[in-house]
Amino acid sequence: MEGESFAYLEGLAKVVRYFILSCTTQAGSGHPTSSLSAADIMTGLMFGGFFLFDPAQPGLPNNDRLILSKGHASPLLYALWAAAGQITEEELMTYRVFGSPLEGHPTPHFRYVDAATGSLGQGLSVGVGMALNARYLDKLPYRTYVLLGDSEMAEGSVWEAIQIAAFYKLDNLVGIIDVNRLGQRGETMYGWDVAAYGTRVESFGWEAIIIDGHDFAEIVAAFRKALQVRGRPAMIIAKTVKGKGVPAIENKNGWHGKALNQEEADAAIGLLEPFDRKLRGQMEKPKDVRPEKTASRSVPGPAYRLGEAVATRKAYGEALKRLYPAFPDMVVLDGEVSNSTYAEIFSEAYPERYFEMYVAEQNMVGAAVGLSARGKLPFVSSFAAFLTRACDQIRMSQYSDANITFCGSHAGVSIGQDGPSQMGLEDIALFRSITDSVVFYPSDAVSTEKLVEQAALLRGIVYVRTTRGTTPVLYGPREEFEIGGNKVLKGGAQDRVAVIAAGITLFEALNAHNELAKAGIPLRVIDLYCVKPIFSSSLKDSLGPARAVITVEDHHPEGGVGEAVQSALAGTEIPVYSLAVKRLPRSGKPAELLDYEEISKDSIVKKVKELL
Amino acid sequence: MEGESFAYLEGLAKVVRYFILSCTTQAGSGHPTSSLSAADIMTGLMFGGFFLFDPAQPGLPNNDRLILSKGHASPLLYALWAAAGQITEEELMTYRVFGSPLEGHPTPHFRYVDAATGSLGQGLSVGVGMALNARYLDKLPYRTYVLLGDSEMAEGSVWEAIQIAAFYKLDNLVGIIDVNRLGQRGETMYGWDVAAYGTRVESFGWEAIIIDGHDFAEIVAAFRKALQVRGRPAMIIAKTVKGKGVPAIENKNGWHGKALNQEEADAAIGLLEPFDRKLRGQMEKPKDVRPEKTASRSVPGPAYRLGEAVATRKAYGEALKRLYPAFPDMVVLDGEVSNSTYAEIFSEAYPERYFEMYVAEQNMVGAAVGLSARGKLPFVSSFAAFLTRACDQIRMSQYSDANITFCGSHAGVSIGQDGPSQMGLEDIALFRSITDSVVFYPSDAVSTEKLVEQAALLRGIVYVRTTRGTTPVLYGPREEFEIGGNKVLKGGAQDRVAVIAAGITLFEALNAHNELAKAGIPLRVIDLYCVKPIFSSSLKDSLGPARAVITVEDHHPEGGVGEAVQSALAGTEIPVYSLAVKRLPRSGKPAELLDYEEISKDSIVKKVKELL
């Protein structure tokens, strides 16, 4: 508004800059220049009456959400909360100190952070998840704000989020691009061409609002306008100066991720004078509205006949549908392959709890992190091979303390003719490498259903690996599957060798057992339905009298079932031999490919005979 | 042109459709409908005088390139080459048969395929690599054509490629979007809204040409126009009908990835009548121009003083610069962190052989696949953590028979204060899981330089893991580092325990050795500079008298050094104990974090004492 005074915001922005400089100089590292460029616009957001948040109750369902997609600007985030009076100057000075919640890049160790950032281009997807939740699940009026850097606009994942946000008409989502022109090692692709960002964003159906990111009149007007946009998300594109407020380093290359020394910082703070270091900002509180809660209901167990041929991928879909009443926070996402993963069984039963995320796996996983941060229980599916597309988002999800179950279908060469591009052969390695993850690899429909139920009960990252083809039901409906456990399917006192397998190769092992039995050779067969964790004592018990182990897996040897078993048996004298996918696969019939990779019955029989 | 006759192209398109139907029905699977939608436009490209290719010499440097980004339309690709008379009808009928080069999704087993496709959204990046090569390296007039599906336009990687292609002004790159409206399980986000694609593509600086993909006048005019565009790439956006030419399944949902049965196929082929099954198309030949070849020159060895503190990441950059004259096919790509990975040492020396790929790792890897397919030797760097962003592209590169060296810097918790988002902790697992990959993990500058040289000599996927902090030079300039080998740095006849380490933890092991030596306890220390392959016999030899192994790594336990060593020692009775990053890391000083994760000297000493 003309004549409006912004002295309050200007004063607060100086406090924010003072905090940014103080804490980075104290730490001797960090990203002050990337923080300074967005200091004005974020001060305007938080203290200009736009950001509705009760700092005393960060968990309030209707609080607005803020995601710092440019996570390296963490000093700005901490400075804002210090300027809000929510952390002390003393706490702020623990920035980057071991054990402090104020980490180099934001993590939920800091109570006002919902999702870890620092790998660029992921924050907008998290925001999409939060905005989907507000609009379609919790039906709350809170808004989600995401601060993006201009460098990260090069990441495709940002454009995945942009298109999906427009598709779902998320007018409760506001992005802010801090166009400070300079990336880590020089100018970005578009420099200060803010119009370039505007045209692109508009072409995807967003409202673009281009401003000078250091002019409070424009900043305040931009947020006012953004809040009025209906039917589509808004992107504020702010032309800014990297290092703004510290003339010595403003708009200079070579100052990315570099703290000022004490002398430089003192001089810079001196130039901010006069300002009131004790000035603190107020945020407006949101309406205390809460989502309707659906009560949890008990559900029947799975119903399959022993020997019935059912694909585990299908059992996954059936399980989701069966379990939803017991887990009403459940929400299901799929990357345009729900008729293959069988997530469609759920989507047809509960369309309001299903989001089609199209062929954009990175954004799908980021959105799941956002949904998880809002208390939902996301189940995310695609082909196991295509979950690798979101490897970085899956990696980051562990730092967001996310609660997500992933299901990768079409595991291994047993998919057959479609060929290697469609074969998940490194998914176990990927998911095992996530700290404290749980990896399930069910072989039949009953274990799939039971393990999906375990996944819903567990907190954290869970992976369920399913198979394309049908397999016979092995277990009765009352069988229980403990985490870390396994099942001895064939075993006797004369066993000298045990085969440990899961999924499709378990049936090859059972066939090998039968063939060898005819020759009077005993073979122990163990179903390793839980690949991570493996409780060593449980596995050793299951080996019984066997003195050698053969692992058989439809996966590369590295990081897979074989190495998991070796790790579980490390320190014992039991040798472990690994049959796994070691040759580059081809198109062909499933049985041909299992033979070619030497993970079929014949190879197991051969290996057992070698060992005896 | 008005009045122009397209009878020849129409006739050929019928032959192409006939081939598509025949081979998919014979195989009993495949994607006929997704092939039929693009049959006309691709017939127009290949036989309308646009695609310049000498089929007798697929390796001719100036042949135009064609990438089927929508790899599931492989029947179309094979049908086109059959219609060109380059494969017989008999060969075509081996589609999807085990051992046939005509795989379910295209791979270079088929001689006219440069890069494997089938994971959507990757082909345009490969095309960017080929077009970069034509424009900036080989300086040849060949063009690169990429056929995209409309579903895959949801993939962020496509938009990464779109922006980079415009940035590098690749007017030798032509994309074609086959907008057939239907994805795998239903309508795409934009259906037949071809204008939506046009606006988006234009906003990124491309020329958009919107046509009816079944009208040969429009098809021919579109290619003519595309070839005249200067200074930017062109995208032909073709509105098409899925299943076109087979009325029973045209534009029908539920017909994705489904072959017609014999009766349906016969009926469909009957409706194509009359047409000449023996008609074959001609392609125009390109000018036989060839790139200038730079002769390889011998280069001096690395020059470091023993004990000198040099970061291995810096040695990587130095090695690239030093080695280039010996490997003039070398080209270096980095994702906007060249001042951290030290690829900038190369880019400053040889700017014409360096491509800044900005913060878009997926497209960077796809482009490297394209450069590799054109005979270049790409070295691709980013933080190890951020290479996970391109996990799927790295996975696919193995099926493209690509020849790429990846370098991941900032490995492990030893990066310190920046925190977990920046720490590569799963990169060894990722790269080990690639078939026949080689994984190097040098600890000092000399081994880094020597291993980068090995990487340049090797064909295939090589990974070099580098460390942020400096480490003392351990090796003299004449030390050689064999693939599959290791180095015993400390060893004696009394050793009972061996520590196997690499990178930063090797120095913790050496410190542990020194501390234990004071107490009279011997400790063997082995530098495992090559994590894959590990030649078991070489490793067993290096263990000498040691009867237990401790592995220590700045990486998660799963899929890392410990499991690699276990696999190499599988079947022996030597127990392997793994010290690795098992707790969620924090921000902090490198030494604090090594202690926290129990991978520092103290933890090694403690473990050794436990074992004795």
Question: What stretches of A458-612 show up as alpha helix (H) in DSSP?
Answer: 504-518, 536-543, 561-568, 590-596, 601-611
Q: Are A210 and A237 in contact (CB under 8 A)?
A: yes
Q: How far apart are CA B564 and CA B428, in angstroms?
A: 10
Q: How far apart are CA B413 and CA B503, in angstroms?
A: 12
A108 chain-B contacts, CB cut-off 8 A: none
Q: Would you list the DSSP string of A170-226? A: -TTEEEEEEE-SB-SSSB-SSTT-HHHHHHHHHHTT-EEEEEETT-HHHHHHHHHHH
**Distance (Å) from the alpha carbon of B534 to chain A's nearest alpha carbon:** 12
**Per-residue pLDDT tens for A357-382?**
999 999 999 999 999 999 999 999 99
Structure tokens at B291: 């790139």
Q: How far apart are CA A611 and CA A596, in angstroms?
A: 21
Amino acid B221: pLDDT: 98
Q: How far apart are CA B475 and CA B485, in angstroms?
A: 15
Structure tokens at A268: 């810079």
Show Cβ contacts of residue B359 under 8 Å, excluding neighbours closer than 6 positions: A120, A121, A151, A152, A154, A155, A183, B335, B336
Does residue B1 surpass a pLDDT of 50? no
Nearest CB partner across the interface for A396, out of B163, B421, B532:
B421
Instruction: Look at A358 and B433 and tell me if their CB atoms are within 8 Å.
Output: no
Structure tokens at B224: 């003519």
* Average pLDDT taken over every residue of chain B: 97
Question: By C-alpha distance, which of B65, B109, B123 is closest to B366?
Answer: B123
Q: Are A60 and A137 in contact (CB under 8 A)?
A: no
Does residue B249 surpass a pLDDT of 60? yes
Cis previous bond, A442, omega within 30: no
Q: How far apart are CA B576 and CA B500, in angstroms?
A: 10
Q: Are B411 and B466 in contact (CB under 8 A)?
A: yes
Q: Are B408 and A415 in contact (CB under 8 A)?
A: no
Instruction: Look at B575 and A571 and tell me if their CB atoms are within 8 Å.
Output: yes
Selected for mutation to probe chain B from A125, A155, A531 (highest B CB count within 10 Å) is: A155
Question: By C-alpha distance, which of A535, A577, A591 is closest to A416?
Answer: A591
pLDDT band at B573 (very low <50, low <70, confident <90, very high): confident
C-alpha pair distances (Å), A66 with each of A123, A553, A598, B368:
10, 43, 52, 36
Among A103, A361, A449, A508, which one carries the catalytic annotation? A361
Q: Are A363 and A164 in contact (CB under 8 A)?
A: yes
Could you say which residues of chain A have pLDDT below 70? Answer: 1-3
Q: Would you list the DSSP string of B353-419? A: GEEE--S-HHHHHHHHHHHHHTT-EEEEEEEHHHHGGGHHHHHHHGGGT--EEEEEESBSGGG-TT-
Q: Are B549 and B517 in contact (CB under 8 A)?
A: no
Q: How far apart are CA B37 and CA B39, in angstroms?
A: 6
Amino acid A460: pLDDT: 98
Does residue B25 surpass a pLDDT of 80? yes
User: What is the arrangement of strands in the sheet containing A354-356, beginning at the earlier edge strand?
Assistant: A354-356, A330-334, A377-383, A404-409, A461-465, A438-440, A530-532
One-letter amino acid of A397 = S
Question: By C-alpha distance, which of B75, B89, B80 is closest to B24?
Answer: B75
Q: How far apart are CA A441 and CA A463, in angstroms?
A: 8
Nearest CB partner across the interface for A399, out of B336, B421, B588:
B421
Instruction: Look at A577 and B570 and tell me if their CB atoms are within 8 Å.
Output: yes
Helix axes A123-132, A156-167, angle to 10 degrees: 20
A152 chain-B contacts, CB cut-off 8 A: 359
**To which residue do tokens 């990081």 refer?**
A559
Active-site residue list of B: 361
Mode of pairing for the β-strands spanning B530-532 and B438-440: antiparallel
* Widest Cα–Cα separation across chain A: 96
Classified as helix, coil or strand, A266 is helix
Find the closest chain A residue to B118 by CA distance: A421
Instruction: Look at A395 and B120 and tell me if their CB atoms are within 8 Å.
Output: no
Amino acid B298: pLDDT: 96
Q: How far apart are CA A309 and CA A321, in angstroms?
A: 20
Nearest CB partner across the interface for A584, out of B117, B156, B435:
B435
Instruction: Look at B567 and A567 and tell me if their CB atoms are within 8 Å.
Output: no
Amino acid B3: pLDDT: 60
**Per-residue pLDDT tens for A123-159?**
999 999 999 999 999 999 999 999 999 999 999 999 9
Q: What is the pTM of this model?
A: 0.98
Question: By C-alpha distance, which of A411, A560, A599, A556 is closest to B434?
Answer: A556
Instruction: Look at A154 and B360 and tell me if their CB atoms are within 8 Å.
Output: yes
Does residue B2 surpass a pLDDT of 70? no
**Distance (Å) from the alpha carbon of A62 to chain B's nearest alpha carbon:** 28
Question: By C-alpha distance, which of B381, B356, B390, B383 is closest to B455?
Answer: B381
Does residue B362 surpass a pLDDT of 80? yes
Task: Kindly state the DSSP code that residue B208 receives in the 8-state scheme.
Answer: E
Question: Is A361 labeled as catalytic in the residue annotation?
Answer: yes
Selected for mutation to probe chain B from A193, A197, A388, A497 (highest B CB count within 10 Å) is: A388
Q: How far apart are CA B553 and CA B562, in angstroms?
A: 7
How many Cβ atoms are within 10 Å of B459's Cβ, its own excluded?
12
Q: Are B211 and B237 in contact (CB under 8 A)?
A: yes
**Distance (Å) from the alpha carbon of A300 to chain B's nearest alpha carbon:** 29
Amino acid A552: pLDDT: 98
* pLDDT over 70 percentage in chain B: 100
Show Cβ contacts of residue B477 under 8 Å, excluding neighbours closer than 6 positions: B301, B302, B303, B304, B446
Structure tokens at A339: 């008729």
Helix axes A601-611, A504-518, angle to 10 degrees: 50
List strand residue ranges (DSSP E) for A335-442, in order: 354-356, 377-383, 404-409, 438-440
Question: By C-alpha distance, which of A409, A205, A584, A290 is closest to B402?
Answer: A584
Selected for mutation to probe chain A from B388, B409, B500 (highest A CB count within 10 Å) is: B388
